[in-house]
Structure 1
Amino acid sequence: MMWRWSFLLLLLLLRHWALGKPSPDAGPHGQDRVHHGTPLSEAPHDDAHGNFQYDHEAFLGRDVAKEFDKLSPEESQARLGRIVDRMDLAGDSDGWVSLAELRAWIAHTQQRHIR
Protein backbone atom coordinates (compact mmCIF):
# COMPACT_ATOMS: atom_id res chain seq x y z
CA MET A 1 0.00 0.00 0.00
CA MET A 2 2.86 2.37 0.83
CA TRP A 3 4.39 1.92 -2.61
CA ARG A 4 1.12 3.11 -4.19
CA TRP A 5 1.27 6.39 -2.27
CA SER A 6 4.93 6.80 -3.15
CA PHE A 7 4.17 6.10 -6.80
CA LEU A 8 1.24 8.56 -6.77
CA LEU A 9 3.44 11.22 -5.18
CA LEU A 10 6.12 10.59 -7.78
CA LEU A 11 3.58 10.94 -10.61
CA LEU A 12 2.24 14.18 -9.17
CA LEU A 13 5.75 15.61 -8.83
CA LEU A 14 6.64 14.59 -12.39
CA ARG A 15 3.41 16.13 -13.69
CA HIS A 16 4.14 19.36 -11.83
CA TRP A 17 7.70 19.42 -13.18
CA ALA A 18 6.62 18.64 -16.77
CA LEU A 19 3.93 21.31 -16.83
CA GLY A 20 6.10 23.96 -15.23
CA LYS A 21 6.96 26.56 -17.83
CA PRO A 22 9.74 29.08 -17.28
CA SER A 23 9.20 32.72 -18.03
CA PRO A 24 10.02 33.55 -21.67
CA ASP A 25 12.45 36.19 -20.37
CA ALA A 26 14.26 33.84 -18.04
CA GLY A 27 17.55 32.31 -19.02
CA PRO A 28 19.02 29.09 -17.68
CA HIS A 29 19.56 30.59 -14.22
CA GLY A 30 16.64 33.01 -14.11
CA GLN A 31 18.65 35.68 -15.90
CA ASP A 32 17.15 37.95 -18.49
CA ARG A 33 18.01 36.60 -21.95
CA VAL A 34 18.24 40.04 -23.54
CA HIS A 35 21.47 42.00 -23.31
CA HIS A 36 20.49 45.42 -22.04
CA GLY A 37 23.88 47.00 -22.57
CA THR A 38 24.89 49.18 -25.47
CA PRO A 39 22.43 48.78 -28.36
CA LEU A 40 23.71 47.43 -31.65
CA SER A 41 22.43 50.55 -33.39
CA GLU A 42 20.71 53.83 -32.63
CA ALA A 43 18.32 53.17 -35.52
CA PRO A 44 14.93 51.73 -34.54
CA HIS A 45 14.73 47.94 -34.78
CA ASP A 46 11.74 46.47 -36.62
CA ASP A 47 11.72 42.69 -37.11
CA ALA A 48 8.46 42.74 -39.06
CA HIS A 49 9.61 45.00 -41.89
CA GLY A 50 13.37 45.11 -41.43
CA ASN A 51 15.48 48.22 -41.12
CA PHE A 52 18.50 48.48 -43.39
CA GLN A 53 20.21 51.13 -41.27
CA TYR A 54 19.86 49.07 -38.07
CA ASP A 55 21.28 45.95 -39.75
CA HIS A 56 24.05 48.01 -41.35
CA GLU A 57 25.15 49.47 -38.01
CA ALA A 58 24.79 46.17 -36.11
CA PHE A 59 26.87 44.30 -38.67
CA LEU A 60 29.59 46.88 -39.27
CA GLY A 61 29.53 49.00 -36.14
CA ARG A 62 28.37 52.61 -36.03
CA ASP A 63 31.64 54.22 -37.14
CA VAL A 64 32.39 51.80 -39.97
CA ALA A 65 28.77 52.00 -41.17
CA LYS A 66 29.16 55.77 -41.56
CA GLU A 67 32.30 55.19 -43.65
CA PHE A 68 30.48 52.66 -45.83
CA ASP A 69 27.65 55.13 -46.47
CA LYS A 70 30.17 57.42 -48.20
CA LEU A 71 31.74 54.72 -50.44
CA SER A 72 30.93 53.88 -54.02
CA PRO A 73 29.03 50.60 -54.50
CA GLU A 74 32.15 48.94 -55.94
CA GLU A 75 34.39 49.95 -53.02
CA SER A 76 31.67 49.00 -50.54
CA GLN A 77 31.37 45.54 -52.10
CA ALA A 78 35.16 45.05 -52.05
CA ARG A 79 35.38 46.01 -48.37
CA LEU A 80 32.45 43.77 -47.47
CA GLY A 81 34.27 40.91 -49.19
CA ARG A 82 37.28 41.49 -46.96
CA ILE A 83 35.04 41.57 -43.89
CA VAL A 84 33.46 38.26 -44.89
CA ASP A 85 36.95 36.77 -45.14
CA ARG A 86 37.62 37.94 -41.57
CA MET A 87 34.27 36.55 -40.39
CA ASP A 88 35.04 33.09 -41.75
CA LEU A 89 36.66 32.19 -38.43
CA ALA A 90 36.22 28.47 -38.23
CA GLY A 91 39.51 27.84 -39.97
CA ASP A 92 37.71 26.22 -42.85
CA SER A 93 38.07 29.30 -45.07
CA ASP A 94 35.30 27.95 -47.24
CA GLY A 95 34.06 31.45 -48.09
CA TRP A 96 30.76 30.81 -46.31
CA VAL A 97 29.81 32.44 -43.03
CA SER A 98 27.95 30.13 -40.65
CA LEU A 99 25.32 31.39 -38.24
CA ALA A 100 27.76 30.90 -35.36
CA GLU A 101 30.41 32.95 -37.19
CA LEU A 102 27.86 35.70 -37.91
CA ARG A 103 26.83 35.82 -34.25
CA ALA A 104 30.47 35.94 -33.17
CA TRP A 105 31.14 38.80 -35.59
CA ILE A 106 28.17 40.85 -34.34
CA ALA A 107 29.24 40.24 -30.72
CA HIS A 108 32.78 41.33 -31.65
CA THR A 109 31.42 44.46 -33.34
CA GLN A 110 29.32 45.30 -30.29
CA GLN A 111 32.27 44.76 -27.95
CA ARG A 112 34.30 47.32 -29.91
CA HIS A 113 31.79 49.98 -28.85
CA ILE A 114 31.83 48.92 -25.22
CA ARG A 115 35.62 49.17 -24.92
Structure 2
Amino acid sequence: MVFLAEEDRSFRAQVRAFMSRELTPKVDAIQRDQDFGAQLAIIGALGEAGYLKLMFPDLYRGALPKPGLTHAVIVSEEAAFLNYAFESTIATALSCAYPFHRFARAAPRERYLTPILGGRAVG
Protein backbone atom coordinates (compact mmCIF):
# COMPACT_ATOMS: atom_id res chain seq x y z
CA MET A 1 0.00 0.00 0.00
CA VAL A 2 1.34 3.44 -0.98
CA PHE A 3 0.28 6.33 1.21
CA LEU A 4 2.06 9.14 -0.60
CA ALA A 5 1.85 9.95 -4.27
CA GLU A 6 5.06 10.13 -6.27
CA GLU A 7 4.93 13.93 -6.14
CA ASP A 8 4.76 13.80 -2.34
CA ARG A 9 7.66 11.33 -2.11
CA SER A 10 9.68 13.58 -4.38
CA PHE A 11 8.84 16.53 -2.15
CA ARG A 12 9.98 14.53 0.90
CA ALA A 13 13.34 13.90 -0.78
CA GLN A 14 13.67 17.62 -1.52
CA VAL A 15 12.86 18.54 2.10
CA ARG A 16 15.24 15.87 3.42
CA ALA A 17 18.06 17.37 1.35
CA PHE A 18 17.15 20.86 2.57
CA MET A 19 17.14 19.76 6.23
CA SER A 20 20.40 17.92 5.76
CA ARG A 21 21.97 21.06 4.37
CA GLU A 22 20.39 23.60 6.76
CA LEU A 23 19.59 21.76 10.00
CA THR A 24 22.16 18.99 10.34
CA PRO A 25 25.16 21.34 10.76
CA LYS A 26 23.31 23.21 13.53
CA VAL A 27 21.88 20.26 15.50
CA ASP A 28 24.62 20.32 18.16
CA ALA A 29 24.30 24.07 18.64
CA ILE A 30 20.54 23.73 19.09
CA GLN A 31 20.64 20.60 21.25
CA ARG A 32 23.71 21.12 23.40
CA ASP A 33 24.07 24.90 23.46
CA GLN A 34 20.39 25.87 23.14
CA ASP A 35 21.46 28.30 20.44
CA PHE A 36 18.30 30.18 19.48
CA GLY A 37 20.23 32.05 16.79
CA ALA A 38 20.82 28.75 15.00
CA GLN A 39 17.09 28.03 15.14
CA LEU A 40 16.29 31.49 13.78
CA ALA A 41 18.69 30.95 10.88
CA ILE A 42 16.92 27.74 9.90
CA ILE A 43 13.47 29.30 10.30
CA GLY A 44 14.67 32.05 7.97
CA ALA A 45 15.80 29.49 5.42
CA LEU A 46 12.46 27.64 5.72
CA GLY A 47 10.62 30.91 5.13
CA GLU A 48 12.75 31.82 2.12
CA ALA A 49 12.16 28.37 0.64
CA GLY A 50 8.38 28.82 1.06
CA TYR A 51 8.02 25.81 3.36
CA LEU A 52 6.24 27.79 6.09
CA LYS A 53 3.41 28.66 3.68
CA LEU A 54 2.50 25.07 2.83
CA MET A 55 -0.54 25.05 5.14
CA PHE A 56 -1.82 28.18 3.41
CA PRO A 57 -2.39 27.31 -0.27
CA ASP A 58 -3.72 30.79 -1.03
CA LEU A 59 -0.37 32.28 0.05
CA TYR A 60 1.97 29.59 -1.26
CA ARG A 61 3.81 30.46 -4.47
CA GLY A 62 6.01 27.39 -4.95
CA ALA A 63 6.16 24.50 -7.37
CA LEU A 64 3.61 22.23 -5.67
CA PRO A 65 0.26 22.30 -7.47
CA LYS A 66 -1.67 21.33 -4.31
CA PRO A 67 0.21 22.32 -1.15
CA GLY A 68 -1.43 21.66 2.17
CA LEU A 69 -1.29 19.81 5.43
CA THR A 70 0.39 16.69 3.98
CA HIS A 71 3.33 18.75 2.78
CA ALA A 72 3.53 20.73 6.02
CA VAL A 73 3.62 17.43 7.92
CA ILE A 74 6.44 16.18 5.69
CA VAL A 75 8.48 19.26 6.62
CA SER A 76 7.77 18.66 10.32
CA GLU A 77 8.62 14.96 10.10
CA GLU A 78 11.93 15.60 8.38
CA ALA A 79 12.86 18.25 10.94
CA ALA A 80 11.81 16.05 13.87
CA PHE A 81 13.87 13.17 12.52
CA LEU A 82 16.99 15.30 12.89
CA ASN A 83 16.05 17.36 15.94
CA TYR A 84 12.69 17.30 17.68
CA ALA A 85 13.45 20.46 19.64
CA PHE A 86 13.78 22.38 16.41
CA GLU A 87 10.58 20.88 15.01
CA SER A 88 8.72 22.34 17.99
CA THR A 89 9.90 25.78 16.80
CA ILE A 90 8.22 25.13 13.44
CA ALA A 91 5.07 23.92 15.18
CA THR A 92 4.97 27.01 17.41
CA ALA A 93 5.38 29.34 14.46
CA LEU A 94 2.62 27.67 12.47
CA SER A 95 0.23 27.35 15.41
CA CYS A 96 0.49 31.12 15.83
CA ALA A 97 0.19 31.76 12.10
CA TYR A 98 -3.05 29.87 11.56
CA PRO A 99 -5.35 32.13 13.65
CA PHE A 100 -3.88 35.22 11.98
CA HIS A 101 -4.48 33.69 8.57
CA ARG A 102 -7.99 32.59 9.37
CA PHE A 103 -9.37 35.35 11.57
CA ALA A 104 -7.26 38.52 11.58
CA ARG A 105 -8.13 41.71 9.78
CA ALA A 106 -5.76 42.98 7.11
CA ALA A 107 -3.50 45.18 9.27
CA PRO A 108 -2.68 42.66 12.04
CA ARG A 109 -2.50 39.89 9.48
CA GLU A 110 0.13 41.79 7.51
CA ARG A 111 1.99 42.85 10.65
CA TYR A 112 2.26 39.35 12.18
CA LEU A 113 1.47 36.67 9.61
CA THR A 114 3.74 37.90 6.85
CA PRO A 115 6.93 37.86 8.99
CA ILE A 116 6.10 34.46 10.51
CA LEU A 117 5.51 32.79 7.14
CA GLY A 118 8.54 34.56 5.67
CA GLY A 119 10.74 33.13 8.42
CA ARG A 120 11.56 36.56 9.81
CA ALA A 121 9.67 36.00 13.09
CA VAL A 122 8.67 33.11 15.31
CA GLY A 123 5.15 33.09 16.73
TM-score, length basis structure 2? 0.26
The structure with the largest alpha-carbon Rg is 1
TM-score, length basis structure 1? 0.27
The structure with the greater share of residues assigned to helix is: 2
Structure with larger RCO (C-alpha < 8 A, sep 6+): 2
